[in-house]
Amino acid sequence: WWSLIQEFDFNMLYKPGTAMNHVDALSRNPVNGNGLIDDKLDDSLVMHITTDWLTTVQMADDESQRIKRILEDKESDKVVQVKENYCLKRGLIYRITNEGHRWLVPRGVRWQILRA
């Protein structure tokens, strides 16, 4: 690209983003014609995640299976960190967070969920 602009005579001037308020408005995605934003999502855009699907992907994931074996072994305290951060309910692995228990989604399918 550098060679393409060599023939032009110009000066480059840096302007910080705070001095270019009009650019921010131009970079936004347009909204529908009446100016109102529709917060309702089309069902076809939402991935329906079921406990059956999550159980299947957890069973297929090596790391999830390792965590599950540690949680099921009541005698073992060798990996205390796993037992402090995860729990097992009805065959599903949950991560323990400040907001409550959250499904453990294996790394291999996280991108699939985010793209859905």
**For residue 82, what is the enclosing H or E element?**
helix 80-85
Identify which has the larger pLDDT, 94 or 11: 94
Q: What pLDDT shows up at residue 39?
A: 62
Q: What pLDDT shows up at residue 48?
A: 74
What is the overall mean pLDDT for the chain? 79
Three-state DSSP class for residue 93: strand
Cα–Cα distance, 5 to 8 (Å, whole number): 6
Identify which has the larger pLDDT, 42 or 98: 98
Q: Tell me how many degrees the CA angle 46-94-97 measures, rounded to the nearest 5.
A: 95
Ordered by start, the domain boundaries in the chain are: 43-115
Q: What pLDDT shows up at residue 104?
A: 92
Cα–Cα distance, 44 to 42 (Å, whole number): 5
pLDDT at 63 over 90: yes
pLDDT at 71 over 70: yes
Cα–Cα distance, 103 to 51 (Å, whole number): 9
pLDDT digits (tens, 9 = 90+) for 25-59: 656 666 656 656 566 655 555 567 788 888 999 99
pLDDT digits (tens, 9 = 90+) for 99-110: 999 999 999 888
Q: What pLDDT shows up at residue 14?
A: 81
pTM: 0.55
